[in-house]
Amino acid sequence: MSLRFAALGIDHRHIFGMAGNMMDAGGEFTGWWTEGSPDTQDGFVKRFPDIPHVADKAGLLEDPSIDLILISSVPRDRAALAIAAMEAGKDVMVDKPGCTTLEQLEEIKACVARTGRIWSIDFSERFEVPCVTKATQLVAEGAIGKVVQTMGTGPHRLNRPLRPDWFFEREAYGGILTDIASHQIDQFLFFTGSTDAEITMASVGNYANPGDPGLQDFGEIALRSPQGHGYIRVDWYTPDALPNWGDGRLTILGTEGYIELRKYVDVGGRDGTDHLVLVNGDRCENIDASDAGIPYFARLAADIRDRTETAMPQAHAFKVMELGLKAQALAEARG
């Protein structure tokens, strides 16, 4: 089977990695549609100059040769596009957040049950980061014993001049915990082996951007399950001197050691990305994990062919978004 895919919505630059990595996994990019002319369009056309732009998304949805639809539209529109794609017989890979309300999530669940299609979320802070692949291997090998806690941080650069209007609209992006923190919820569930969790604390705030009341620039969550504990902090405060968009980190604590991931930059001085620190009873070392690979995209292609769940269990995608949406609601209810 030669997988063919198309894109609906290119409003977020995550579509660059989604499409590029599916092509690297052997997929054929057949066409794309987007609403209006988002700021990302010039860069997208430069990156994918040979991929045709279609004026009507129906042409892609009705093409029986297309297997997979990628979606990176404005977040509030992703659920409707995903449902339309699944109703048309396509599997879906959506940018995070996969949806922005619990009502949308229930509609997506019903559509998956009705159609039997795959609804997968590209959590890029796990699926597009080789050092997370290496950490997964080490944890599976028992390098740090039983995982009992994750601490994930997702600082981002605001880049105000480059942000579209919807970025500052709470209803459009879903809130900072629904949006950014979904990455860290995904990693907590995955590394602790949890299928559900209790939200013990959630808060959001706007401390640096009072002129944008719809923007939340800080958020945090505490989680626990029978398998482990988690703490998450996300923000839009990345200082200009940092050489990339954010110093994203993950610490995985086990009963026999710990792993720290400095995913995108090491402010301690090491060049490059994908820095992994492993400390256990025998080893205390820094590992360059940049060559560990990113298997999610090839696995998703195999799942589409074989109707399996090797890239990510469907229930996991649902649970990540459920917890993110509930944490968002809890934080906003508390004020």
pLDDT in tens, 230-283: 999 999 999 999 999 999 999 999 999 999 999 999 998 899 999 999 999 999
First to last CA, the chain: 51
- The domain spans of the chain are 4-122, 126-294+327-334
* Burial of 314 from C-beta contacts in 10 A (0-12 / 13-18 / 19+): middle
The pLDDT of residue 269: 86
CATH 3.20.20.60 correct for 126-294+327-334: no
Mean pLDDT of the chain: 97
The pLDDT of residue 70: 99
Residue 46 has pLDDT above 80, yes or no: yes
**Measured distance CA(82)–CA(262) in Å, rounded:** 33
The pLDDT of residue 117: 98
pLDDT band at 335 (very low <50, low <70, confident <90, very high): confident
| Model pLDDT for residues 183-212, shown as the tens digit of each residue | 999 999 999 999 999 999 999 999 999 999
The pLDDT of residue 2: 86
- In the beta sheet, which residues pair with residue 32? 7, 53
| Model pLDDT for residues 282-326, shown as the tens digit of each residue | 999 999 999 999 999 999 999 999 999 999 999 999 999 999 999
Instruction: Give yes or no for a contact between 199 and 141, defined as CB atoms under 8 angstroms apart.
Output: no
**Measured distance CA(152)–CA(137) in Å, rounded:** 18
Span 33-43, average pLDDT: 97
**Measured distance CA(220)–CA(180) in Å, rounded:** 10
The pLDDT of residue 245: 96
- The CATH number of 4-122, from 3.40.50.10490, 3.40.50.720, 3.40.50.800, 3.40.50.300, is 3.40.50.720
**Measured distance CA(29)–CA(31) in Å, rounded:** 6
- Looking at residue 59, its amino acid is G
pLDDT band at 1 (very low <50, low <70, confident <90, very high): low
| Model pLDDT for residues 98-144, shown as the tens digit of each residue | 999 999 999 999 999 999 999 999 999 999 999 999 999 999 999 99
* Burial of 326 from C-beta contacts in 10 A (0-12 / 13-18 / 19+): middle
Outline where DSSP puts E strands in the chain.
4-10, 28-33, 68-72, 91-95, 119-122, 147-155, 198-205, 218-224, 229-235, 249-254, 257-262, 275-280, 284-288
